[in-house]
Amino acid sequence: MLERLDQLLERATRELKDLRDLAELDEWRVKYLGKKSELTEIFKYIGKLPGDKRPQAGKQANQAKSTLERAYEERAEELKNLQRDALLQRRVDVTLPGRPINVGRLHISTKTLRTIYAILGKMGFQVFEAPEVETEHYNFELLNMPAGHPARDMWDTFYTTREGVLLRSHTSPGQIRAMKHFCPNPIRVILPGKCYRYEQVSFRSDFMFHQVEGLAVGRRITLADLKGTMIEFCRQMFGADRKVRFRCSYFPFTEPSVEVDIDCILCGGRGCPVCKQTGWLEILGAGMVHPLVLENGGYDSGVFSGYAFGLGPERIAMLNHRIDDIRYFFSNDLRFLSQF
């Protein structure tokens, strides 16, 4: 048996030196140190030897196993180092161009907002930011909607646990903040931002959306100024051949109030399901700033006048890109977002 152990050690050591990679080394380990290896068979045979020969045989077998395990670990370390050195020796051409990095895209709402900024910016409007968390005083009362006013039902408002504090339901509160900031100077600002309403989510409405409020205050501003601004905006946003119409409406913070429509982009004004067969699509509400709202902003309504308008970037994007569901905008579906 001792001769058999010597032959096993010699054969295993010779084969170990010829191994070229870690995969072959693992096969060697199974062959010589595994459960079905020749060395395991030798250990089983020791139990059949006479009692006086077992200690010496067991000692020799354990020494052989230790020798093979030590040789295995040393060879494994050698092969790992060889593999690492081979990787390091690969030449890298530092003059080659780098790999392109995938970058993100602008959200379609952001792109639409930037287009609105650019169009109105050419007309002299500057961006003025107002808070999304508002007080009932600014959101309603200073806009000619005191407590109990039926017009408050036009906005399904998210109230917070703190009395009198809410998530703004429209960007119109920013009108008061802008007037108080610039008074008594003439102003021309847009107030973009998110609005929140407690509405059922559907293909036409969402509980969170963007609005852009516009406000111009100065001396001798008339409804004709508002009309000219809206016509120019619609033609730059939707195309120079767009037809624009104004309809009488009601908003508590403007008097008179109007709604602005354009001829349907999809059917060209002939009538389709999108425009409800009317040939027109509503895009924004507007009007002359109510004298009481001007006074609340610090302006003398006998000297100053102004107009205001509010539009929805998502609505505009839906018209321009023929999107039929507003929920796509904030569902984070890359299949939709990557198209823009």
In this structure, the answer to whether residues 115 and 84 fall within a common structural domain is no
- 324, 115, 243, 309 alpha-carbon torsion, rounded to 10°: 90
In this structure, the answer to whether residues 184 and 273 fall within a common structural domain is yes
Matching residue, tokens 């205050």 = 217
Both structure tokens of 37: 């290896």
In this structure, the answer to whether residues 172 and 124 fall within a common structural domain is yes
Q: What is the pLDDT of residues 77-106, one digit of tens each?
A: 888 888 877 776 666 677 878 888 888 889
Give the CATH number for residue 238: 3.30.930.10
In this structure, the answer to whether residues 36 and 153 fall within a common structural domain is no
Report, in this order, helix, strand and coil percent for the chain, each rounded to 5. 45, 20, 35
In this structure, the answer to whether residues 119 and 82 fall within a common structural domain is no
Residue 97 lies in a domain: no
Residue 98 lies in a domain: no
In this structure, the answer to whether residues 137 and 259 fall within a common structural domain is yes
The answer to whether 109 touches 313, Cβ cutoff 8 Å, is: yes
Grouping H, G, I as helix, E, B as strand and the rest as coil, residue 227 is: helix
**Buried b / exposed e across 75-112, counting CB within 10 Å, b at 16+?**
beeebeeeeeeeeeeeeeeeeeeeeeeeeeeeebbeeb
Residue 230 lies in a domain: yes
In this structure, the answer to whether residues 123 and 257 fall within a common structural domain is yes
H or E stretch covering 126: strand 126-127
If you ran DSSP here, which 8-state letter would residue 332 be given?
Answer: -
Domain hosting 204: range is 108-337
The answer to whether 282 touches 261, Cβ cutoff 8 Å, is: yes
Query: What are the E-state strand segments in 186-328?
Result: 187-196, 208-219, 244-251, 254-263, 280-289, 304-311
Residue 95 lies in a domain: no
Q: How many domains does the structure of the chain reveal?
A: 2
For residue 137, which phi and psi values (nearest 5 degrees)? Answer: -60, -45
Grouping H, G, I as helix, E, B as strand and the rest as coil, residue 120 is: helix
In this structure, the answer to whether residues 30 and 152 fall within a common structural domain is no
In this structure, the answer to whether residues 182 and 284 fall within a common structural domain is yes
If you ran DSSP here, which 8-state letter would residue 130 be given?
Answer: -
In this structure, the answer to whether residues 164 and 296 fall within a common structural domain is yes
The answer to whether 305 touches 218, Cβ cutoff 8 Å, is: yes
What does the pLDDT read at residue 319? 85
- Which residues lie closer than 8 Å to 14 by C-beta, 6 or more apart? none
What does the pLDDT read at residue 147? 85
Residue 114 lies in a domain: yes
Residue where one domain finishes, among candidates 36, 56, 88: 88
Q: Bridge partners of 254?
A: 251, 289
For residue 322, which phi and psi values (nearest 5 degrees)? Answer: 55, 50
In this structure, the answer to whether residues 160 and 255 fall within a common structural domain is yes
d(CA 115, CA 181): 26
In this structure, the answer to whether residues 78 and 112 fall within a common structural domain is no
Write the DSSP string, 140-172: TGGGT--TT-GGGGGS--EE-SSTTEEE-SSST
Residue where one domain finishes, among candidates 54, 88, 122: 88
Residue where one domain finishes, among candidates 88, 116, 149: 88
Residue 143 lies in a domain: yes
Residue 103 lies in a domain: no
Residue 93 lies in a domain: no
What does the pLDDT read at residue 90? 67
If you ran DSSP here, which 8-state letter would residue 328 be given?
Answer: G
- Which residues lie closer than 8 Å to 140 by C-beta, 6 or more apart? 146, 147, 149, 152
- Which residues lie closer than 8 Å to 198 by C-beta, 6 or more apart? 156, 157, 158, 207
Low-confidence ranges of the chain (pLDDT < 50): none
Q: What is the pLDDT of residues 253-274, one digit of tens each?
A: 999 999 999 888 777 778 877 6
